[in-house]
Amino acid sequence: MKCTKCRRRQAVYLRSYSGEMLCRFCFKRSLEVKVKNTISKYRLLSHNDSILIAVSGGKDSLTLLKTLWRIESRIPSVTLAVLTIDEGATRSYRAEGLKLSRKICEDLKIPHYIVSFKEYVGYTLKELWSRIQEKKLELLPCSYCGVLRRRIMNTFAKDHGFTKIATGHNLDDEVQTFIMNIMRGDYSKLFRFGASMEVVPGFIPRIKPLRYIPEKEIAFYAFLEGFKLYETECPYVHLSMRDEIRFMLNDFERRYPGIKFSIMSVMDKLSKQFSKLSKTYFKTCISCGEPTSRDKCRVCEIMDLVST
Ligand code: AMP
Ligand code: ZN
């Protein structure tokens, strides 16, 4: 079967939601164009940005790194660097990702910074989890791991003069989070899922250029790029509701191609409508001085629970 775009090369990928059959070349190009269009449509980057790319070493963040490098490295006034956070979940979990990220950064000649939970919050993720279990606290690893990771990214970016933080969240991640918030009844978060970045004093704006790319396409791009993908998934993933939602959404997508994009379009419309009506007001955490919507920020709350 020939590629429906170039009509010359052999098709290797069927995009079920659009009916396109694409060859390797047209597939890769179409993904990069989509990322480029997301960046320009939502004005995610400007010509003098210094971008910190958050790379765990998984397929999403490596694809983010490669596509951003292709799009941005030709612009001399833009600088790119990579940050990998070693959570210290188990000894082997992050090691493979670190190695892969280091190798690709060397190939692309991009500076690679590595920091750890231990040096920023005093504990590894594994130590935190042990303390939480000892104290019988009702905290799941995914909830505080994400909070602490975002804080570390923001602090690192501020301390080193970066103007944007890019993460590899894809269409599936975003839609899963939205459904999770509905299931948990977390009304306030439903409208904070727009494509545009939030500008809040004290926070370095975070951008998600892969937000409209399905996870399956990222996996195929990563395969075509020859990223050595590793199977090691986060050891705590089974404790999260996300895994079940991922399964459910994939089942629906198989039977009704395009539903993830439909949910995303609702998310975009909701956030556009409501961003005009309601604004989250940020104040300063009474404990650490970082911006927060409450009196004490979630990081300090978690650390208080764990340390006392
Ligand atoms: P996740 O929450 O694991 O789906 O990750 C979402 C995005 O956050 C990834 O695509 C990365 O951009 C970033 N990220 C996750 N874990 C790390 C890490 N350990 N170090 C740096 N960036 C990370
Ligand atoms: Zn605080």
List, for residues 138-177, the tens digit of each pLDDT value: 777 777 888 999 999 999 999 999 999 999 999 999 999 9
Per-residue pLDDT tens digits for 177-220 = 999 999 988 877 777 766 766 778 889 999 999 999 999 999 99
Domains of the chain: total = 1
Residue of 51, 56, 93, 229 to test ligand 1 pocket, by largest number of atoms within 8 Å of CB: 56
Around ion ligand 2, residues with a beta carbon closer than 5 Å are 285, 287-288, 297, 300
CA 213 to chain centre: 12
Which ligand 1 atom is the nearest neighbour of the CA of 173? 4
* 285 phi, psi to nearest 5 deg: -60, 135
**Mutation to probe ligand 1, out of 35, 55, 180 (largest number of atoms < 8 A from CB):** 55
Q: Average pLDDT of the chain?
A: 89
Return the ligand 1 atom nearest residue 146 CA: 2
Q: Examine residue 14 and state whether it is found in any structural domain, yes or no.
A: no
82 and 112 Cβ atoms separated by less than 8 Å: yes
Assess if residue 1 is contained within a domain. Answer: no
Better pLDDT: 95 or 277: 95
Confidence at residue 228, expressed as pLDDT on a 0 to 100 scale: 76
| Pairwise CA distance, residues 179 & 165, whole Å | 25
CATH number of the domain encompassing residue 135: 3.40.50.620
pLDDT > 80? residue 116: yes
Return d(Cα 185, Cα 198) in angstroms, integer. Answer: 22
Q: Does 187 fall in a domain?
A: yes
- 188 belongs to a structural domain: yes
Look at residue 129 and tell me if it is in a domain: yes
Taking CA atoms only, the protein residue closest to ligand 1 atom 6 is 169
Alpha-carbon distance of 15 to 21, in angstroms, equals 6
Please name which of 50, 45, 53 lies closest in space to residue 78, comparing C-alpha atoms.
50
Q: What is the largest CA-CA distance in the chain?
A: 66
Distance 149 CA to ligand 1 centre (A): 8
Q: How confident is the model at residue 113 (pLDDT cuts 50, 70, 90)?
A: very high
Domain limits at 133?
A: 31-278
Cα dihedral 290, 165, 116, 111, rounded to 10, equals -140
What's the Cα-to-Cα distance from 103 to each of 52, 97, 108, 150, 280, rounded to whole Å? 17, 10, 9, 24, 40
CA of 83, closest atom in ligand 1: 21
Residue 11 domain flag: no
pLDDT tens per residue, range 229-281? 765 566 666 667 888 999 999 999 999 999 999 999 999 988 888 776 666 67
Structure confidence at residue 227 (pLDDT) = 86
For 173-185, give one letter per residue: b (16+ CB within 10 A) or e.
Answer: bbbbbbbbbeeee
Within a domain: 307: no
